[in-house]
Amino acid sequence: MTAPSRPPAPRRAAPSRAARAARLAALAALAVAGALAGAARAEPGALPARLAARDARLVATLDLGAAFGPELERELGNGLENVVSIWVAVLPEGRRDPVLLHGRVVEILFDVWDETYAVTVKDSWNPRGVQLVLPDFAALRRFLSQEKDLELGPLSALPRAGRFVLEARVELNPISREQLQRTREYIANPAGGSRAGGGSRSVFGAVASFLLREPDPGADVLLFRSRPYGAGEVSSR
């Protein structure tokens, strides 16, 4: 007796366009949630700072020692030119639009014969650079860790009401050509920044928006934030 043949298995209906859209939206939401979680993990480190007023300008001394650990000796002593960019922004508390901005680029070259470090520092006060030679890594680390008497800009730019914070961004060997270009433009023409009588506010805005966004993947970037300050806490010199 011939066994009855099995009925063909029902074909699964293809998902509708609405179902596919809903699935894509769910995946996008998961991706956004992951990105936000990553940003939350990248909370800025503490930025110890001392502030003062000098000739109606805000002056800051910052401790960036956490950005320059002993493990950097091998990388900075590889015989190639290394670049460290350091940006300091002053922002009203709770806002992301800086009122003052200071940029500095430090070029470092280790001399494998003399075992010394040739350092060139470029900022808005010395756009062509100031050169010095440091005898060893300990001296280089001390130099990089202490940003002393940075003139951030006029006191009149500080919030009249409320408090403000300082944020620092330290990047080793920036990988973004855009950042390097904006850094050069700002050092040469620092509107709203440290040098009196700076130039275009458009340069200031472009640099600020670029620096305050999330670091590019693979970038060696460290972020730091000070405690909030009130204008009354800025002592005169």
Any idea where the domains of the chain sit in the sequence? 46-236
User: Distance (Å, rounded) from C-alpha 88 to C-alpha 69?
Assistant: 20
User: Distance (Å, rounded) from C-alpha 63 to C-alpha 37?
Assistant: 28
Backbone angles phi, psi at 84, to 5 degrees: -115, 125
Q: CA separation (Å) from 219 to 61, 71, 99, 185?
A: 26, 17, 26, 21
Mean pLDDT of the chain: 79
Q: Which residues make beta-bridge pairs with 39?
A: none
Residue among 133, 141, 98 at smallest CA distance from 117: 133
The mean per-residue pLDDT over the stretch 148-173 comes to 91
pLDDT for residue 203: 60
pLDDT for residue 217: 62
| Residue predicted with more confidence, 47 or 30 | 47
- Tens digits of residue pLDDT in 76-95: 999 999 999 899 999 999 98
User: Distance (Å, rounded) from C-alpha 48 to C-alpha 65?
Assistant: 10
| In the chain, % of residues over pLDDT 70 | 67
Confidence of residue 43 (pLDDT cuts 50, 70, 90): confident
Confidence of residue 59 (pLDDT cuts 50, 70, 90): very high
**The two structure tokens encoding residue 4:** 């009855």
CA-derived radius of gyration, the chain: 25
pLDDT for residue 38: 41
The mean per-residue pLDDT over the stretch 186-199 comes to 58
**The two structure tokens encoding residue 103:** 């940029």
